[in-house]
Amino acid sequence: MGHNPDGVCAQRIRALLHTRALGRVLTVLCETASTNAELRARECAVHGETVIARRQTAGRGRLGRRFESPEGGLYLSVMLRGYAEPGQVTIRAAAAVHRAVLSVCALRCSIKWVNDLLLDGRKVCGILTEGVCSPQTGRLTGAVCGIGLNVGAVFEPPLDKTAGSLPAGVDKNALAAAVLCELERCLDEPFDAVLRYYRAHCPMAGQDVTVRPSGLPPYEARVEGIDDEGRLVVVRGGQRQALSSGEVSLHRED
């Protein structure tokens, strides 16, 4: 059997895991359409059940976008059952991945509200949290938190201005285990403590942005900060608004 020392391997991840629930049921697939879709289709998936793929053929991003997921990256989804605050999951996950990248790769990303991690201003990680409903009752039964990290990827112009990657050679098994450990910790922590960490690594306050609310025309605003519910507070024409979703692009990126 071929052995790929750089490859994601369930046995190695298990050996590094110190979690109570996350990743205790773990499947590593060579390929799947989307780890989020795979896990959402598992009606009996338990809390913490995790699917990791070496590549995705139809990786999903926020706002219906595609998430390019070639071999080499780390694509991981976790089932969260009975979690009281599904609306906080993406913020908690961003803080968790930030901590994991810092501890495993010794790299300090910045967080771009709400769900992106940037390295030198380029996106290296995206997070997509999706609700899961019972097909019988239609009621919400959980949430799947999907995390995609670019590793060793090289982007051609013009994408190379906005898309970045963790270096090739990152230990993806250590990174996957650290993401799961930190995610469990960030889900358990009081939200104000998570927000303190998130704000400290999300340097958007004072920046000019374009806000693209879904279905409405874009507008310019200045970021004031992140409120206690994790919403982005922007000021537009003297009026303060708290955004809980939507797309925001930084002007400084140009």
Residues of the shown chain interacting with ligand BTN in the complex, contacts defined by CB under 6 A: 34-36, 56, 59-62, 65, 67, 69, 75-77, 126-128, 146-148
Residue whose CB is less far from ligand BTN, 36 or 173: 36
- Residue type (1 letter), 195: L
Contacts of 74 (CB under 8 A, 6+ apart): 8, 52, 147, 148, 149, 151, 172, 175, 176, 179
Least distance (Å) from ligand BTN to the CB of residue 195?
Answer: 21
Which residues in 58-95 are b (16+ Cβ under 10 Å) and which e?
ebbbbeeeebbbeebbbbbbbbbeeeeebebbbbbbbb
How far apart CA 154 and CA 179 sit, in angstroms, is 23
Residue whose CB is less far from ligand BTN, 76 or 179: 76
Residue whose CB is less far from ligand BTN, 7 or 222: 7
Residue nearest to ligand BTN (CB): 126
Least distance (Å) from ligand BTN to the CB of residue 240?
Answer: 27
| Contact (CB, 8 A) for 32 and 57 | yes
Least distance (Å) from ligand BTN to the CB of residue 94?
Answer: 11
Residue whose CB is less far from ligand BTN, 59 or 231: 59
Least distance (Å) from ligand BTN to the CB of residue 127?
Answer: 6
How far apart CA 179 and CA 177 sit, in angstroms, is 5
**Cα angle for residues 230, 17, 153 (degrees, 5° grid):** 70
Residue whose CB is less far from ligand BTN, 33 or 222: 33
Least distance (Å) from ligand BTN to the CB of residue 226?
Answer: 18
Consecutive H or E run containing 204? none
